[in-house]
Structure 1
Amino acid sequence: MAKLYFYYASMNAGKSSTLLQADFNYRERGMRTMLWTARLDTRSEGMVRSRIGLEADAHHYVPETDLYAAVMAAHRIEPVDCVLIDEAQFLTREQVWQCARLADQEGIPIVCYGLRTDFQGELFPGSAALLGIADKLVELKGVCHCGRKATMNLRVDASGAAVREGEQTEVGGNDRYVALCRRHFSEAIGLPK
């Protein structure tokens, strides 16, 4: 029975490289995968890219994309053995349910990778839906500068100062975000002790 998986972590924990390793493993065994990433992340240019230099072509999704219909259209031409979705925090609730339908009704494993929370410690809509209905939740471990597990994503400005307000989504990498443990995140944004 196929399942819906959600691999989640802070920034810089290896989500995209883990996705690309899974893609490689399927393809090495002669199986067909379908990779997706959010069009919102303009850095990707039609690719899933990891910070360690691995990359692969991917389809883009936007909030209006019907993932069930798109995957099934490809599956009818040539069977899809697994769907791998990067930046899954940007999925809509409806898209997460489309992924569940692909696993439940069509028998296609769906493996999602994304952030759990934003720079204010709030759940992303896609992550909230995945945490609620995924068959399997897997936390990938990032590391804070203190050596503890990084679970939070601190947004910083050009001078490295913590940003406390703004839109939930702002695309960026190491220039805009720092993965921290909860303690150092709380200190950086000035939460009461």
Structure 2
Amino acid sequence: MAQLFYKYSTMNAGKSIELIKVAYNYEERGKRVLCLTPKTDTRYGEGVITSRVGLQRQALPIAEDTNILSLFMRENEKHEIACVLVDEGQFLKKHHVLQLVEIVDSCDVPVMVYGLKNDFKNELFEGSYYLLVYADKIEEIKTICWCGKKATMVARIVDGKFVKEGEQIMVGGNDMYVSLCRKHYNDGRFKPDDEY
């Protein structure tokens, strides 16, 4: 029986490379996957999933008004889809998550969503919230803080300064976000003292 998987982490934990690996494994066995990514993240172009190590994969872009279930049904009519893979799941809306649930429950096709859990203010994103509510399986992909402890928070850095105010969604990479353990997030140290 198919399930909805939510695989979350902080920045730079390897979510996108994991998605690319899963897609490759399905396709190597002759199975077709449907890769999706929200239009919100255009750092590498619309509809492109990119890992920090440079691997890329085309995906269908999801707009706020996209009906993922209808999109799935259209694509599945062309060629049977064995799995749906979604990157940047934190940018999904509630209706997107419910449509993914419908793909799992009514079409018996597994869905794996990768994304952040919390933002730079340590608040849940809308997509993350509903994925945590509806997912059958939730898995943390771990990464580390500069100190070596497990990173659970994401810090936003603007002009070399740690900030905790601003718009929730501001797309950026290593130039703007740093994964930190709770201690260093709370005390505002985003790098070792000798690097300030």
Q: TM-score, normalised by structure 2?
A: 0.94
**What SS class does the counterpart of residue 186 from structure 1 fall into?**
helix
Name the amino acid aligned to 2:128: S
Question: Residue by residue, what CA displacement relative to the aligned partner does 1:106-161 show, whole Å, maximum 9, x if unpaired?
Answer: 01111000000000000000000000110000100011001011111100012x21
Asked if residue 2 in structure 1 is aligned to residue 2 in structure 2, the reply is yes
CA distance in 1 between partners of 2:108 and 2:155 (Å): 38
Residue equivalent to 1:110: 111
**Share of identical aligned residues, percent?**
44
Q: Which amino acid aligns with 1:126?
A: G
Equivalences, count: 188
Amino acid in the other structure paired with 1:175: D
Map 1:83-94 onto structure 2 (within 5 A): 83-94=84-95
SS of residue in 1 equivalent to 2:115: strand
User: Residue 13 in 1 paired to residue 22 in 2?
Assistant: no
For the aligned residue pairs, the C-alpha RMSD in angstroms reads: 0.9
**In structure 2, distance between residues paired with 1:123 and 1:56:** 27
Cα shift at 1:23: 0.5
Residue of structure 1 in register with 2:41 after alignment: 41
2:148 counterpart letter in structure 1: G
Pairwise CA distance, 1:76: 1.2
Match of 2:142 in 1: 141
Q: After TM superposition, which residue ranges in structure 1, 4 or more long, deviate above 6 angstroms?
A: none
Q: What whole-Å deviation, never above 9, does each CA across 1:19-50 have from its counterpart, x for those lacking one? A: 00100100000000011111111113121100
Gaps of 5+ in 1: none
Classify the secondary structure of the residue corresponding to 1:155.
strand
Superposition map of 1:107-186 within 5 A: 107-158=108-159, 160-186=160-186
Secondary structure of the residue aligned to 2:146 is coil
